[in-house]
Chain A
Amino acid sequence: MTQEQKALFVGNEFGASITTDEILETFSFLDDWEERYAYVIDLGKKLPPFPESEKIELNYVHGCQSQVWLIHYFDQDSGKMYLLIESDAMIVKGLAAVVLAAFNAKTPQELLAVDIEGIFNQMDLIRHISPTRGNGLRSMVKKVQGMARLHC
């Protein structure tokens, strides 16, 4: 892995300066669907760029109507897992940002302890997005948790 890529991973604001608590709090102030979706879409736009060279089958998350890629970097020194997610759909990208705020820059053990379903339930919006709609939210989560287990 190049220094440049490492910097991308480690520099990801989600899970660092952008926290789940902050997202949930902002969310609770938004009272119509338009504001909520606009906020989620905005979160997605703040994701760090995803390396083009990593958009390969190996990193592809299946089970989404849109294209979703997910890569990770495990930092031996800190014991933390860093994640990058990309999608060609804005809402999915926004949901990925929520997932990253919860999961990124944590040790595998910390990551696996996160009650991600609980977070989704608190965000009324996500409750509306059923898994059958093929947005791949659940596939994304499963893939991240699978990666974490490998480093436990």
Chain B
Amino acid sequence: MTQVATATITQAMITPFDVQKIREDFPILAQQVNGRPLVYLDNGASAQKPLSVIESMNRYYRTDNANVHRGAHTLGDRATADFEGAREKVRAFLNARESREIIWTKGTTEAINVVASGLAQSLQPGDEILVSHMEHHANIVPWQMAAERSGAVLKVIPLDERGQLLEGAFETLLSSRTKILAITYVSNVLGTINPVREMIAQAKAIGALTLVDAAQALPHFNVDVQQLNCDFLAFSSHKLFGPTGIGVLYGKANCLEALPPYQGGGEMIERVTFAKTTWNELPYKFEAGTPAIAEAVGLGAALDYLNALDRPAIELHEQNLLKRAQLLAREVPGMHLIGTAEQKVPVVSFKIEGLHPSDIGTLLDQQGIAIRTGHHCAMPLMDFFAVPGTARASFAFYNTQEEVEQLFTALQKIQRMCC
């Protein structure tokens, strides 16, 4: 057997995804919390950062830092190249047609606000904005504000008891009055993956604009905006293993052209006189003021990191984590899962009879396990399930089967303590 052939065979026999090796890329994970090894299961709130992200920002500040697009000196050129290079990485990651379709924002929340406040100016009384009952407040409140300003009406797609969009409800609500469909790709509480591609096609057929909240989708699977054919898409860097303080609004060029600017100031203008100001071209029209440059660089590094991973292998690993959690949940008496959709990412919301979510969170923390408890910025969804809040374990690809087991061992311990 030749050397090459041996190498191929060994390669094929390696487990498809070596999670222990991946964990070494995330320095924060190797620590003790309350005397126990940290088990970080709050990735839905914010994910941890690989060393390459941390180092990219460090390098940027050590070698290239200056303001962007101001010209005149070498550092400024480098900073601009880094910054625009990161924009190009986002374009490629989403498979957008042009990099001017990528607008930097503070995060998902700001991205949605840019669109909602812009569209509020053209919405008419009686126009309808369609959202779902599982939206994060970031995809509810900006639309409520737009509705209030314009006289438009917010319509809500109801859910079934598994936490999926109620079958047929979307089609019933969609009408010639629908001007915008604003829908989450993945629910932050339930993990439900919505059939956004089909919904977008239907919404487009009646001429509505479409916005996808991809904050919880991109950490788990790739999204191609051209395939999806959405008009707008929003996400946050910090949930995608990048730094806080930056996010993205993707918009089709013609949709962004038609949208009025969000904030006024430097960078977003073409020419300012006291008589009249004209807007800069895309994407700068939406980027008033000095942007988060180092953060853009960091996000670019996060995307490089993700691109180098085998995402199908990751998806399989994550689905295995989810399956294990769902299986173990059955063995905990009084534990109820909230959100049991057929298609879901590894997010497990639950309640345990006799225990308040905040008790669960505090007592897990004592055992080194970080989860989130509360309403998860989705109060209407809490009302739907008639709970004050849930406890939520949200997994990332660097979580292990052992950590899933530790979570459930810890939950059983809590039950013994309290009940």
Q: Which residues of A contact B (CB under 8 A)?
A: 33-34, 37-38, 41, 65-67, 88-92, 128-129, 133-135
B373-395 contacts to A, CB under 8 A, are 373-374, 388-389
Stretch of B137-145, B147-155, B350-358 contacting A (4+ beta carbons < 8 Å): B350-358
Residues from chain A with Cβ under 8 Å of B356 in the complex: 66, 88-90, 92
Would you call B417 and A89 a contact (CB within 8 A)?
A: no
Q: Is B363 an interface residue (CB 8 A)?
A: yes
Taking the closest CB of chain B, its distance from the CB of A117, in whole angstroms, is: 20
Would you call A65 and B417 a contact (CB within 8 A)?
A: no
Would you call A129 and B388 a contact (CB within 8 A)?
A: no
The answer to whether residues A33 and B359 also contact, given A41-B418, A65-B373, A88-B388 and a CB cut-off of 8 A, is no
Q: Is B343 an interface residue (CB 8 A)?
A: no
Q: Can you spell out 22 A-B residue pairs with CB atoms less than 8 angstroms apart?
A: A33-B34, A34-B366, A37-B417, A38-B417, A41-B417, A65-B357, A65-B374, A66-B358, A88-B388, A89-B359, A90-B355, A90-B359, A91-B358, A91-B359, A91-B363, A92-B358, A128-B34, A129-B362, A133-B358, A133-B362, A134-B358, A134-B374
Taking the closest CB of chain A, its distance from the CB of B385, in whole angstroms, is: 16
Residues from chain B with Cβ under 8 Å of A134 in the complex: 358, 374
The total of interchain contacts (Cβ-Cβ below 8 angstroms) comes to: 46
Residues from chain A with Cβ under 8 Å of B373 in the complex: 65
Interface of A is mostly: helix
Q: How far apart are the CA atoms of A133 and B366 in the complex, in Å? A: 14
Taking the closest CB of chain A, its distance from the CB of B278, in whole angstroms, is: 45
Q: How far apart are the CA atoms of A56 and B328 in the complex, in Å? A: 39
Residues from chain A with Cβ under 8 Å of B362 in the complex: 37, 91, 129, 133, 135
Q: Which residues of B contact A (CB under 8 A)?
A: 34, 355-359, 361-363, 366, 373-374, 388-389, 413, 417-418
**Which of A33, A89, A128 counts the most B-chain CB atoms under 10 A from its CB?**
A89
Residue from the list B357, B358, B363 in contact with A37, Cβ < 8 A? B363
Residue from the list B34, B355, B358 in contact with A135, Cβ < 8 A? B358
Residues from chain B with Cβ under 8 Å of A37 in the complex: 362-363, 366, 417
Beyond contacts A34-B366, A38-B417, A91-B359: 15 other A-B pairs, Cβ-Cβ < 8 A, are: A34-B417, A37-B362, A37-B366, A37-B417, A65-B357, A66-B356, A89-B358, A89-B359, A90-B359, A91-B362, A92-B358, A128-B34, A128-B366, A134-B358, A135-B362
The answer to whether residues A90 and B388 also contact, given A33-B34, A65-B357, A133-B362 and a CB cut-off of 8 A, is no
Taking the closest CB of chain B, its distance from the CB of A55, in whole angstroms, is: 13
**Which of B34, B356, B388 counts the most A-chain CB atoms under 10 A from its CB?**
B356
